[in-house]
Amino acid sequence: MSQENMKKSATDIRPRRSWLSRIGSVVKWMFILGVMGVLFAGGAVGGFIASIVKDDPVRSEQMIQEKVGENVVTGFAYFRDGMPIGQLRTEEDRRLIAYKDLPQLVIDAVLAIEDNRFYEHHGVDVSGTLRAVKQKLLNESVQTGGSTLTQQLARRVFLNLDKTDDRKVKEILLSLRLERFLSKEEILTAYLNKVPFGNGSNGYNVYGIKAAAKGIFGIDNLDKLNTAQAAYLAGLPQLPSAYSAFNGYGEFNEAAFNRALDRQQLVLRRMLEENKISSSQYQEALAFDIKKSLAPHTKKAYVTFPYLMMETERQAAAILLTLENNNQESAKGASQLEEARQLLLTGGYRVYTTIDKKVYSAMHSISEDSSNFTKESKSKGLEQTAGMMIENKTGAILGMIEGRDFNVESMNYATQMVRQPGSTMKPIAAYLPALEGGLIQPASILDDAPIILKDGEKGFHIPKNANNRYQGLVTARYALNNSLNLPALKLFDEKVGIKNAWAFAKKLGITTIQDEDYGAQTGVLGGLKYGVSVEDLTNAYSSIGNKGEFNDAYMIEKIVDSKGKIIYQHKVNPERVFSEQSAYLMTDMLRTVVTDGTGSTVKSKYKHFKDIPIVGKTGSTQNYADVWFMGYTPDITLGMWVGYKEQINTLESKTQRKQAQSLWAEVMNAVIDKKPDLFKAKTFDKPEGIVKETVSAYSGKLPTSLTDKFTTDIFNAKYVPKDGDDGISNAKYITYGGVNYIPRDGTPGDFLKEKIVVSREKPIEELINELETAFKSMKEHEPLDYYLPADAKTGVPTEVDPRVDDGGAPAAPGNVEVSYDTGKAVIRFAQSGSPDVVGYRLYSSVNGGPFRKVDVLLAGDGTTFTTDTPASDYAVFYVTAVDVAGNETSSGSVGGGMPTPEPSPSPEDGLFPDMGTTPGDQVLPDPGLFPGSAGDPGATPNQPSADGGQGTPSADGNEADAGGNNGGH
């Protein structure tokens, strides 16, 4: 037992460890525990970091390079001479700069305040970060922030700007990765191209050092910044909204500016501490007056030139979309255009337009002057206008009036509005194609007589002229001068043909023709489905000024990308659409529209006739919802429109209806004064092949021995008439109801006329038959005589007098009475009730002498005789009715107190010594038919009189009323 105890005690007794052994053991366990702690802490930190960045992608070098180099870059628009219109609208005004263009002064200022150890760290400044943590934990009054430039760049490019712990971790990791793939120069350059600097003097937010220098100090070249300015700019990115010297409107902000000055002084101290500037430079910078060096306040281009900037956006975006589609015209959906517009606004493009600033300003000086317009209407709104000026040789748009007030109506009336063109379409779709096809010449004779068109609602439609008259046979020049509707309709519908007319118009740039327009018989008067734009119509007229060559109008000259590469350059590509001869003839006809026709207001207000020739065409739609004037010189074409936004609202006063002409003349006067060098040509050059000829004023053909009326005008030598005047003849006839008829046997000769009569394409008798047939299907129409042309009585008779002898003497005229007007006897009577009466004879006895026949009056020509018998004479009168067979019945006598007159004397009684023939054989003269002087260009068989009589346009010179279907004037 004891033995066992001894053994046990021996086993339990161990040797005592030394103190070194004990220390080593402690150290060992501390190391193990330390390693385990570090591993645990590292794992915890790693797990924490992993949880933060688990959803973040691992960004490749390529992605980093692309994102850092990706910038929203400000684009700009320029006038024709390269002067800026303004910057394209965007949230950011950013102008990129390369590292080689960064002055050392700017670099020193930025690094001194933002990251003075930039070239020493690898993305994260540990000491700076610890310092920032300490300042934050201790809530110190001065807190510097620990973010390096690399971290700020990483945050701006890849992260949001919220200040969270999670974001800070991501920022540090991203910074380390950026430093791995980017050089210090690339990081610094990217930073200075991306950070915000507040608002510039025009109110835009400026991003990047280059935009900041321009927007805040008006300095384009950073080398021109002094120390004070560089330090001022370097201090802004910390709190750009608090330090911005300008607000969102470009107005000066005193409080923010003072805060920025305090920040600038801090930057200067840091630069001094870092030995980036000397003490003298420091003092000089402090003394510099920053406020005086600020850029002057300027309005944004979208405030100064809102219409123009919006139009530049629209057109340039469409070009970019076309380029993206490899120059193939394709459907441009709204979403595609919007994407192209966003690309334009953010891609740093420079868009060079054709707009001449002086021209544009001159045009707007007229449209912005309210005295040039009718007072605003409460019900109709603002009287609107639009205009466009195009250079004939190139098609370049030099200027435009897009509307009167962008704040009232932002739509561009010159390019986006489509309205009915009225009579301005006549040269484009009627006269020009007819001239080109040799169908007419200025002296050609056209018939201003009614045509009857089918109308689904009314049965038939009979177009009218504005003067409510039909003037009959007139020259093409006269018809255009006075904007007569019927000759233009006949050219459009019958000679040229609607299909050919619209094909011709399309070649001149009219882009709005619809399928339905090919069935619109009054389309040449403006009765289109939609209408035309001011741009299209002005473009079409420009081709006439360009001698028959069409240039598609354009406003964008070129587009340059952010790298300076020209990605689009407009090429002028003229296309000959009609001959120089046709262009010259059309120009000369439009010349007399101004000098002798409906362009009277332009004639009275245009000031430069002696120096710069003009021609043009008026136009207005039914009820004057739209009025136009299209005019051109040898160098430019100007189109003007006036109306209201809503087409239901019409222009009422005479002034309003002439407004397009007035504004056209005022705009031309203003542009010529400001830009005279645009108008180099002093004449319209006459090409070869233009000759002057005298032709018959009855037919437009070569005169014959029978021709007694002539007109002289210019011709295309190819189309000078070769045939003689076979459309006239000498005939004896009787007129009834305004129509000439072949007389029946027995009709007394004193009721017949013998003179030259004219054959017309549609004889008057045929026209009357058509009218009477149409009347049966029309609910409303004018009386028959309203539709008869003024020269209806000059037509060759083709039918026999429809009146037939009833076998008895006609009923006598009744209610005969005499009165005196200006001292001369006037005899009135009531017509006979017999249907076969061909006319009436007036007999008189003076001072007791025998009765003599004084005058005859055709049936239908009234019931009044006017004589030269003075009141002082003792005269007695009576009237007889004569029928188609020569039977005559007399009325009672009147005047002078004489007894009942004897029966009508017979020729054998010798009572008519002054007549020289028997009453039945007398042929009445018809003086004054076909007035007009031979040799006068455009003289016509029915030239209007100066007193506003037959054939004269309405007093205000308005053009014709189509009588429906949006007809033109």
pLDDT digits (tens, 9 = 90+) for 249-275: 889 999 999 999 999 999 999 999 999
For the CA atoms of the chain, what is the radius of gyration? 47
Tell me what pLDDT residue 385 has: 97
Give the orientation angle of helix 357-367 with respect to helix 659-674, to 10 degrees: 140
397-401/445-448 β-pairing: unpaired
Q: Which letter does DSSP use for residue 658 in this model?
A: T
Q: What is the DSSP string of 876-922?
A: EEEEEEEETTS-EEE---BSTTPPSPPPPPPGGGT--TTTSS-GGG-
Has residue 642 got a pLDDT over 80?
yes
Tell me what pLDDT residue 944 has: 34
Distance CA 92, CA 114 (A): 23
Residue bearing the bigger pLDDT, 896 or 355: 355
Confirm if 450 and 470 have CB atoms less than 8 A apart: yes
Tell me what pLDDT residue 241 has: 87
What confidence tier does 429 reach under pLDDT thresholds 50, 70, 90?
very high
Has residue 331 got a pLDDT over 80?
no
Distance CA 588, CA 269 (A): 79
Mean pLDDT score, 239-246: 92
Q: How far is residue 693 from each of residues 478, 714, 723, measured CA to CA in Å?
A: 17, 6, 13
Tell me what pLDDT residue 172 has: 85
What confidence tier does 921 reach under pLDDT thresholds 50, 70, 90?
very low
Handedness of CA 679, 682, 683, 688 (dihedral sign): negative
Strand-pair partners of 690:
716
Q: Which residues have CB under 8 Å from 129's CB, separation 6+?
A: 146
Tell me what pLDDT residue 29 has: 58
Q: Token pair for residue 339?
A: 């994407």
Distance CA 113, CA 267 (A): 6
> What share of residues in the chain are helix, strand, coil (percent, to 5)?
40, 20, 45
Handedness of CA 641, 645, 648, 650 (dihedral sign): negative
Q: Token pair for residue 33?
A: 């525990």
Q: Which of 520, 524, 527 is nearest to 453 (CA)?
A: 520
What confidence tier does 204 reach under pLDDT thresholds 50, 70, 90?
confident
Confirm if 76 and 195 have CB atoms less than 8 A apart: no
Give the orientation angle of helix 61-68 with respect to helix 149-158, to 10 degrees: 90
Q: Which of 757, 754, 785, 792 is nearest to 771 (CA)?
A: 785
Give the DSSP H/E element, type plus range, for residue 509. Answer: none
Has residue 935 got a pLDDT over 90?
no
Looking up tokens 């006037």, which residue turns up?
826
Mean pLDDT score, 938-946: 36
Residue 370 dihedral angles phi and psi, to the nearest 5°: -65, -20
Mean pLDDT score, 905-920: 36
417-420-426-428 Cα dihedral, nearest 10 degrees: 30
Residue bearing the bigger pLDDT, 879 or 60: 879
Tell me what pLDDT residue 909 has: 38
Amino acid in the structure at residue 471: Q
Mean pLDDT score, 14-27: 60
Give the Cβ contact number of residue 460 at 10 Å.
17
672-706: burial string, b at 16+ Cβ within 10 Å, e else? bebbeebbeeeebeeeeeeeeeebbbbbbbbbeee
556-560/350-353 β-pairing: antiparallel
Mean pLDDT score, 106-133: 84
Mean pLDDT score, 32-61: 51
Confirm if 88 and 351 have CB atoms less than 8 A apart: yes
User: SS3 for 561?
Assistant: coil
Distance of CA 532 to the CA centre of its chain: 9
User: SS3 for 811?
Assistant: coil
What confidence tier does 914 reach under pLDDT thresholds 50, 70, 90?
very low
Q: What is the DSSP string of 837-865?
A: EEEEEEEEEETT---EEEEEEETTS-SEE
Looking up tokens 């020569």, which residue turns up?
886
Distance CA 466, CA 476 (A): 18
Has residue 823 got a pLDDT over 50?
yes
Q: Which of 5, 8, 52, 952 is nearest to 483 (CA)?
A: 952
Distance CA 912, CA 930 (A): 32
Distance CA 57, CA 53 (A): 8
385-424: burial string, b at 16+ Cβ within 10 Å, e else? bbbbbbbbbbbbbbbbbbbbebeebebbbbbbbebbbbbb
Q: Which of 391, 398, 392 is nearest to 361 (CA)?
A: 398
Give the E-state strand segments of 725-765 in sequence order: 728-736, 739-741, 752-758
What confidence tier does 49 reach under pLDDT thresholds 50, 70, 90?
very low
Q: Token pair for residue 712?
A: 């002289």
Mean pLDDT score, 944-954: 32
Tell me what pLDDT residue 821 has: 92
Tell me what pLDDT residue 488 has: 98
User: SS3 for 364?
Assistant: helix
Q: Token pair for residue 215?
A: 């927007």
Mean pLDDT score, 439-451: 97
Residue 496 dihedral angles phi and psi, to the nearest 5°: -80, -45
User: SS3 for 209?
Assistant: helix
Has residue 933 got a pLDDT over 80?
no
Give the Cβ contact number of residue 952 at 10 Å.
17
950-951-955-960 Cα dihedral, nearest 10 degrees: 140
% of the chain surpassing 70 pLDDT: 82
pLDDT digits (tens, 9 = 90+) for 557-609: 999 999 999 999 999 999 999 999 999 999 999 999 999 999 999 999 999 99
Tell me what pLDDT residue 93 has: 83
Mean pLDDT score, 1-27: 52
Distance CA 88, CA 679 (A): 32
Has residue 833 got a pLDDT over 90?
yes
Distance CA 636, CA 681 (A): 10
Distance of CA 98 to the CA centre of its chain: 43
Tell me what pLDDT residue 907 has: 37
pTM of the model as a whole: 0.77
Tell me what pLDDT residue 73 has: 86
User: SS3 for 135?
Assistant: helix
Tell me what pLDDT residue 911 has: 34
888-890/923-924 β-pairing: unpaired
User: SS3 for 823?
Assistant: coil
Lowest mean pLDDT among 211-225, 333-347, 682-696: 333-347
Q: Token pair for residue 945?
A: 């009189």
Has residue 40 got a pLDDT over 80?
no
Mean pLDDT score, 148-174: 74
Give the DSSP H/E element, type plus range, for residue 351. Answer: strand 350-353
Average pLDDT score over the chain: 85
pLDDT digits (tens, 9 = 90+) for 362-395: 999 999 999 999 999 999 999 999 999 999 999 9
Distance CA 264, CA 230 (A): 9
pLDDT digits (tens, 9 = 90+) for 63-118: 777 777 777 788 999 999 999 999 898 767 888 899 999 999 999 999 999 999 99
Confirm if 436 and 578 have CB atoms less than 8 A apart: yes
Tell me what pLDDT residue 576 has: 98
Q: Which of 696, 801, 802, 711 is nearest to 758 (CA)?
A: 696
Give the E-state strand segments of 633-703 in sequence order: 636-643, 690-696
Tell me what pLDDT residue 350 has: 97
Tell me what pLDDT residue 94 has: 85
